[in-house]
Amino acid sequence: MGKIALHWQILGGMILGVLLGLLCNQFEGGREFILDWVKPVGTVFIKLLKLIAIPLILASLIKGIADLKDISKLSSIGGRTIGLYLLTTVIAISIGLMVVNIIQPGGQIAPETISELTQTYSGDMGTKVEKAISQKNKGPLQFVVDMVPDNIFSAASSNRNMLQVIFFSLFFGVSLLLIKPESAKPIIDFFNGLNDVVLKMVDLIMLMAPYAVLALLASLVVETTNTDIFTALGWYAGSVILGLLLMISIYVLVIYFYTKKSPSFFIKGISPAQLLAFSTSSSAATLPVTMERVEEHLGVEKEVTSFVCPLGATINMDGTSLYQAVAAVFICQALAFNLSFGDQLTIVLTATLASIGSAAVPGAGMIMLVIVLESIGLPSEKLALGLALIFAVDRPLDMCRTVTNVTGDAAVAMIVGKSVGKLSEPNIKNWDDNYRN
């Protein structure tokens, strides 16, 4: 695979993984072979990416802030970034509502299918509803409290606390700008070196990317059951995917008209990160690759990339927010729960706020959905039933919406970079060449 571009290697691995999974499903013991001998390769790959997520954020964010040399530049970049993330979230939710109201997927689900789904999955949903309601009841500003760590070593011990690590890195970086340059220099040199080491770790980990995505997709295929239910929920899944494609199209158009970069330039530059996002279903696990592609292949300077991308992987959930809108309306359609225009405006507002408040919480997608459904008055006894209705196709749709999340992070990084004069022609050392030498 050494002479093939990275994104083609990954895509090839995905196709071969699906074929291998389908083939092994035809033989007795094939499923066990994939789970025992193939899936561990993908699991190790994801663990390696998550392993370097915290060091990468610490090193790149502190280095990026130190490189600004002016605290006013940080406030300028930060304001633009947060504003754009909120704007794209509102746009994503609005697209989701438009698509689901036009297609009306809830009307395509037969009553017997609803009954089968709820019997199959409702038992798994009770604890998810309880966790979501517990999170909601903590108060509207609880996410601000949760953002501030009381122990940085404890926060850095879990990727679930990534927002806390970002807070510490920003606080540390700003403080570094405010002390004497001679005192700051050895610390800056340390983080410069640490950043170089972590990026080299990314290069080494990516050597196994094509084989890892093969393993991940093969295991997904053999673990997938009840394909009849997938067929029955095809209208809902199609609505979500159509909305996600429309959102990606908006990113591409904005990039084209604002930065004057062609759609092929943008998609080719970010495609390896998109494919990994699809395979891993994790923006955090894909973060090292996203940052590398945005900086080296899209031309965004490090001081912007190191701030925008880690923050986006934590709070920017365009794909997830769009999915919330479609899922909420779909559940109400399927359960004959009528929604007014005001209810749909409530979905926009609540999903936008929930995307921020649930950012650092495990299982944020389900938590956001429960908060949205409660805001429009869906009876609590129907919450578990509603979640059960969509649970069968949640895994493949999670893969798709993570692609949109990562694409949105890259698009916002390019827009912010252009707005502050930190976007240039990429100085490509050619990342793919790292794997050929």
Q: What is the pLDDT of residues 108-124, one digit of tens each?
A: 766 766 666 666 555 55
Instruction: Return the closest-CA partner of residue 409 out of 219, 224, 279, 276.
Output: 276
Q: What is the CATH number of domain 6-435?
A: 1.10.3860.10
User: Average pLDDT, stretch 159-165?
Assistant: 75
pLDDT band for position 140 (cuts 50, 70, 90): low
Contact by Cβ (8 Å): 257, 414? no
Hey, where are the domains in the chain? 6-435
| 300: β partners | 423
Q: Which two tokens stand for residue 94?
A: 């609005």
pLDDT band for position 411 (cuts 50, 70, 90): very high
pLDDT band for position 138 (cuts 50, 70, 90): low
Q: What is the pLDDT of residues 294-306, one digit of tens each?
A: 998 999 988 888 8
Question: Please, how many CA atoms are within 13 Å of residue 110, restricted to the half-sphere of its CB?
Answer: 7
Torsions phi, psi of 80, nearest 5?
Answer: -65, -45
Report the percent of the chain where pLDDT is more than 90.
24
Measured between alpha carbons, how far is 261 from 425 in angstroms, rounded to an integer? 10
* Contacts of residue 421, Cβ cutoff 8 Å, sequence gap at least 6: none
Q: Which two tokens stand for residue 163?
A: 């927002």
Q: What is the pLDDT of residues 9-59, one digit of tens each?
A: 888 888 898 899 889 988 888 889 998 999 899 889 888 888 887 888 788
What interhelical angle do 111-136 and 364-375 show, nearest 10? 100
pTM beyond cutoff 0.85:
no
Q: What is the pLDDT of residue 326?
A: 92
Q: What is the pLDDT of residues 50-104, one digit of tens each?
A: 888 788 878 877 887 777 777 777 778 888 998 999 899 999 999 999 999 999 8
Contact by Cβ (8 Å): 81, 307? yes
Q: What is the pLDDT of residues 173-225, one digit of tens each?
A: 889 888 888 998 999 899 889 988 987 888 888 888 889 888 888 887 787 65
User: Average pLDDT, stretch 246-275?
Assistant: 94
